[in-house]
Amino acid sequence: MMSWFGNLSIRNKLLLTFATIIILSVFMGLFSNYQMKKVFRSADMIADDNLPSISGLLELDEQLAEITRHWFEHILSTSSVDMENGEKDLEQHVKTFRQRHKALVNVMNTPEEKQKYDELTAVSDHCFDIQKKIILLSKSGKKSEAFQVYRTEGKSDCDRAGELIDKLAAINKREAVEQITKAESTFNYSYLANYLLMGTILITSLFLAFGAARSITGPVAHAVAMAHRIAKGDFNIQVDSISQDEIGDLLGVMGTMAKSLDARDRIISQQSASILDLSTPVIQLTGNVLLLPLVGIIDTSRARQFTDRLLQAIVTHESSVAVIDVTGVPSFDTAIARHIMNAIDATQLLGTHIVITGISPEAATTMTELGIRFQHSTCCGTLRAGVVEALKRVGCRIERSEGAA
């Protein structure tokens, strides 16, 4: 059956061989280019849609934390100048929040994202309406009512806004993972198809096909390894050399994508650390009285952080009394109590007395059942009572104004 090939001249045999190789090579190149474009589209979607969305949502979360912190500081402020400055800062943070929120509308593409975005719009608008109410009550001297609105309506709306931001971020992260998986699957399929085509070329000319395989398998294996490392979250990838073909372009794009993801990951870590710092503020009430409001779950890392910040503030301000408010701690157990007792022991070594406030009836019952006692400290039911007790201990005279509730 192959006698016709044997009857061809060397020239025609070479021409037929090279023609076959060229045709198969062109086909292989077109096929690879088509598959690489699919991978590039996935990479572009991640770079142009998912990553900007995640970054913008993190900025929104940061601004929301700043806004709620300024609410609390405004309620605690007693000076009209401090309240006026706080309102200016609030206006700037709200303006920044709205700008970041408006910019996200361009990258909300799926129906699920648009729905969550619209919900976030409604919740944030209502949250800012609550802000006006809190500021008005606080400026009118109705601090308790302002604090009650902050703890109920304000906290509820802010928590809901935070949940929506987290859900939007999770959606974008999921889409990014899906795009990476899709790109990896497309690339693997292209990788297999290319090898099949090269096997056909090997039948015609083993030497030329072997040379072609050597020029492809190295970069392809490197790209596959990069894809696997990126999929596992390892973004520290170094591209030593890039060939001038589609695989080289892919390596370059994947290297750039890995650097971008690594930078985003560092930003996320830095912003998470910043948010953690904001969650445990140490507030100076008077020259030698400090307030440490605790909000949220307290673990070992956070306990070490607020203890260090409290001790540093005591040394800096030479404080003799510090109020630790646990109203915002959702639950009490032995571990949390131990963290607080360790902080009390540390402050006593510096000569500072601790006033504990905000222990709920449920927490008090639990602590009694567990045999937990805050020795060498004073416990008050409310933050207001705790502040009054602290001020009395440093010799401040407490007078009720005529307009006070």
Whether 405 shows a pLDDT value over 70: the answer reads: no
Q: What is the 3-state secondary structure (H, E, C) of the chain?
A: CCHHHHCCCHHHHHHHHHHHHHHHHHHHHHHHHHHHHHHHHHHHHHHHHHHHHHHHHHHHHHHHHHHHHHHHHHHHCCCHHHHHHHHHHHHHHHHHHHHHHHHHHHHCCCHHHHHHHHHHHHHHHHHHHHHHHHHHHHHCCCHHHHHHHHHHHHHHHHHHHHHHHHHHHHHHHHHHHHHHHHHHHHHHHHHHHHHHHHHHHHHHCHHHHHHHHHHHHHHHHHHHHHHHHHHCCCCCCCCCCCCCCHHHHHHHHHHHHHHHHHHHHHHHHHHHHHHHHHCCCCEEEECCEEEEEEECCCCHHHHHHHHHHHHHHHHHHCCCEEEEEEEECCCCCHHHHHHHHHHHHHHHHCCCEEEEECCCHHHHHHHHHHCCCCCCEEEECCHHHHHHHHHHHCCCCCCCCCCCC
- Give tens-digit pLDDT for 206-253: 544 443 344 456 556 666 777 777 777 676 666 665 555 555 666 677
What is the domain partition of the chain in residue ranges? 1-278, 281-393
Please give the C-alpha separations between residue 279 and each of 59, 174, 303, 305, 319, in angstroms, as whole numbers. 16, 28, 12, 10, 21
Q: What is the reported pLDDT for 10?
A: 43
| pLDDT value at residue 272 | 61
Output the CA torsion 106→107→112→116 (10° steps).
-70
Dump pLDDT digits (tens) for 301-360. Answer: 778 888 888 899 899 988 899 999 988 888 777 788 888 888 888 888 889 999 999 888
pLDDT at 279 over 70: no
Q: What is the pLDDT of residue 31?
A: 73
The architecture that CATH gives domain 281-393 is 2-Layer Sandwich (3.30)
Q: How confident is the model at residue 404 (pLDDT cuts 50, 70, 90)?
A: very low
Over 50: is that where the pLDDT of 96 sits? Answer: yes
Torsional sign, CA 193, 194, 197, 203: negative
pLDDT tens column, 5-30: 444 454 555 566 677 778 777 777 77
Higher confidence at residue 190 or residue 405?
190
Q: Is the pLDDT of residue 66 over 90?
A: no
Does the pLDDT at position 283 exceed 80?
yes
Residue percentage of the chain with pLDDT more than 90: 3
pLDDT over 70, % of the chain: 77
Average pLDDT of the residues in 105-125: 83
Asked if the model's pLDDT at residue 144 lies above 80, the reply is yes
Over the chain, what is the mean pLDDT?
Answer: 76
pTM: 0.38
